[in-house]
Chains A and B, each alone.
Chain A
């Protein structure tokens, strides 16, 4: 009796297993995979970026599809976690047979997916992870990044702090690939490119209920000119309570990308938040692509894109779509190699400038069918993949006035030169 039940259970499982392979997309669809953190710590971001990718799919299909075939985006969940992320990417490559994957918010997951799945399987992977290490992975040129990485972000923050006349600063950073990357880059900018002094560089672990020892070490008894706080909003809230309690809230502070959220203003109060001098975040590049991204998103979802790093995700997907179109191959025949060999051509000079609108896609597909070149100008920047596979993407600086987040400017800075960074940053 028991055995029978077990056998029934296993039969059902096998049935489900077989059924799930028959695939949703029609054979004549062009398939592109996306993997975003839909659950887990970065889940709030995942939903917004999935919507942005659906917007690309809508635009392309409204424009008549790639050479008359529809674009089908298959989304999988990374769970904000390398194990699940690798499994998600494996399903896309092995079962859905996508030539390219766009995705991953977190560098740790992106490193796992690229080295575990996409590079050995010769599929293109365009990520948003900002760790400088992504550039130096041995990738046979299959690993791209659409966002500006930490060497850009850190440069902007370090320059700003030095230009404001500070001489001695403290840095407190979240102890992961993202936080350490920005902290190292800002410190090198401040103390090696310029002659400032970083008196303290203190890592912290996320999710603690008190950061008093970290804050005390960073502020050195209040004996510093400014601080750089690289922290997620929840942890930044805890830190600021301790900074205030110690009476150091008159020391100017600078913030990292993820603090540009209204929730932080709500929890700290607008008056307090005005103490921030400047923060950096992923930029948006003025142009038709940006307008189409912002307005299209607002029209479809009833709000303007709410999270940072959505624009580069949008651009990464568009560049993959255009690369598939340029390869001229039929759906199901496009390989990762085709995408890799075409992705630079469609995003850089020479060629007619293309923007991510319905008309833009129509025009791009028509030009590519005629064998002409195109150059995609994105919502986050010019989108030019360099030799490391990193796109030139803008950095935005922001501050807070009267309780509102104010954008100061969008710039494409020079990154911190790698040879000034510690040895682990060097390309082999």
Chain B
């Protein structure tokens, strides 16, 4: 049971990292990016290729430290995010969403078919958690959970600094009124591009953290449902445009999903029906949440400059 709490901490933190990246894109800049699963997969595969000890015919086996894997994941995902941005950022909202979804799927299909790169459909196994050799299996989840949580807190701290800066307020202005921001003399395309790349880098780190937790990945580990729409739900449920909300959303949604299966075991219904009822109930809870708290669990914070004096007056 204690070990299960560690598992919840791992998955919650991993999802929180991805959600923080997504929140920067969607919550602050208003980019409805649907290639999150492709970016996360790119990050995961990069880290696994860099840190893996053996390759067996495919690219990889460099055995580099975990931290290099994370940096590599951020760089590759950021690069891909930049390429996606160059191709799609001039498009309008709906077209942007659809074309990013398509590009995310393209990344997935490349990983599925390029045997030399990703071992294709067979996937890559034997991925180690950092320090697992020293602390043994029982503790390794705790070590990893705490590590993931700390990395998540670091990203949170940096993002808070970023979004409370003038840069962050411009992003929020773009979300509210793009034309007005442009009229103020801001290069909207450039700011959106920066947000997309920075968000993609964080998503890449999340994808890499996920891979090391899972121990085995194949292209289907990063599906659009689990790695794009679920993080989107976490952003919205926590409160889009609020980094704390993203963290709360990630932990609440993942925790509710995971724990509800055991709660459902108490109901006097046949075991063949429980999963369907659980899916239904989780769906109803999410819809009710969005119906009665459309701003999310925490909601949006007021954007006030950190250097402003007498903040209360400005906020009101």
Binding site for B on A (CB under 8 A): 2, 6, 9, 13, 16-17, 19-21, 24, 38-39, 46-47, 50-51, 54, 73-77, 79, 81-84, 86-88, 90-91, 93-95, 108, 111-112, 114-117, 120-121, 131, 133, 137-138, 175-177, 180, 203, 205, 423-424, 428
Closest 3 CB pairs of A and B: A38-B275, A116-B215, A94-B4
Q: How far is the CB of B248 from chain A (nearest CB, A)?
A: 8
Q: Are A91 and B122 in contact (CB under 8 A)?
A: no
Select A138's contact among B123, B126, B213, B265, beta carbons within 8 Å: B126
A residues near B100, Cβ cutoff 8 Å:
none
Docked-complex contact B122 and A13, CB < 8 angstroms: no
CA distance A94 to B127 in the complex (A): 21
Interchain CB contact under 8 A, B262 and A91: yes
Beta-carbon contact of B125 and A131 below 8 Å: no
Q: Give the distance to chain A from B238, nearest Cβ to Cβ, in Å.
A: 11
Chain A nearest Cβ from B293, distance in angstroms: 9
Given A24-B266, A39-B279, A203 contacting B113 (CB threshold 8 A): yes
Residue of B whose beta carbon sits closest to that of A83: B226
- Surface stretch bound by A, among B76-84, B148-156, B178-186, B216-224: B216-224
Closest Cβ neighbor of A133 among chain B residues: B122
A81 touches B223 (CB 8 A): yes
B56 touches A13 (CB 8 A): no
Q: Is the CB of B218 within 8 A of A111?
A: yes
> Nearest Cβ in chain B — how far from A381, in angstroms?
26
Known: A83-B221, A112-B214. A177 touches B4 (CB 8 A): no
Q: Let me know if B275 and A87 touch, CB within 8 A.
A: no
Q: How far is the CA of A74 from the CA of B278 in the complex (A)?
A: 16
- If A77-B275, A175-B113 touch, does A91 touch B261 (CB 8 Å cutoff)? yes
Chain B binding surface SS class? helix
Do A20 and B252 form a contact, CB below 8 Å, given A39-B275, A82-B220, A424-B57?
Answer: no
Contact A16 B137 (CB under 8 A): no
Asked if residues A111 and B216 are in contact (CB atoms below 8 Å), the reply is yes
Alpha-carbon gap, A175 to B2, bound state (A): 39
Can you give 7 contacting A-B residue pairs, CB < 8 Å? Answer: A2-B299, A38-B274, A83-B226, A91-B262, A108-B121, A111-B125, A116-B213
Tell me the number of A-to-B contacts counted with CB atoms below 8 Å: 137
Give the contacts of B17-50 with A (CB-CB under 8 A).
none
A13 touches B255 (CB 8 A): yes
Contacts of A108 in B (CB 8 A): 121, 123, 218, 220-221
B109 at interface, CB cutoff 8 A: yes
Residues of chain B in range 247-284 having any CB-CB distance to chain A below 8 Å: 252, 255-256, 258-259, 261-263, 265-266, 271-272, 274-276, 278-279
Is B97 located at the chain interface by the 8 A CB criterion?
A: no
In the assembled complex, the CB of B165 is this many whole angstroms from the nearest CB of chain A, namely: 27
Question: Given A47-B272, A112-B214 in contact, is the A24-B263 Cβ separation under 8 Å?
Answer: no
A120 touching B137 by the CB < 8 A rule? yes
Residue numbers of B with Cβ under 8 A of A are 1-4, 7, 11, 56-57, 109, 112-113, 115, 119-123, 125-127, 137, 140, 213-218, 220-221, 223, 225-226, 252, 255-256, 258-259, 261-263, 265-266, 271-272, 274-276, 278-279, 297-299
Residue of B4, B213, B226, B258 with most partner-chain A CB within 10 A: B4
User: Which single member of A20, A95, A112 contacts B216 (CB below 8 Å)?
Assistant: A112
User: Does B256 lie within 8 Å of A95, measured CB to CB?
Assistant: no
What is the CA–CA distance of A38 and B112 in the complex, to the nearest angstrom? 25
B262 touches A95 (CB 8 A): yes
Q: A13-B255, A39-B276, A82-B214 are in contact. Are A50 and B220 (CB under 8 A)?
A: no
B126 and A115: CB pair below 8 A? yes
CA distance A47 to B276 in the complex (A): 11
Per the bound structure, the CA–CA distance linking A95 and B266 in Å amounts to 15
Chain A positions within 8 Å of B115 at CB level? 424
Contact A115 B125, beta carbon cutoff 8 Å: yes
Measured between beta carbons, the chain A residues less than 8 angstroms from B56 are: 423-424, 428
Question: CB distance B223 to A116 under 8 Å?
Answer: no
CA distance A175 to B121 in the complex (A): 7
Known contacts A39-B279, A121-B137, A74 near B258 by CB under 8 Å: no
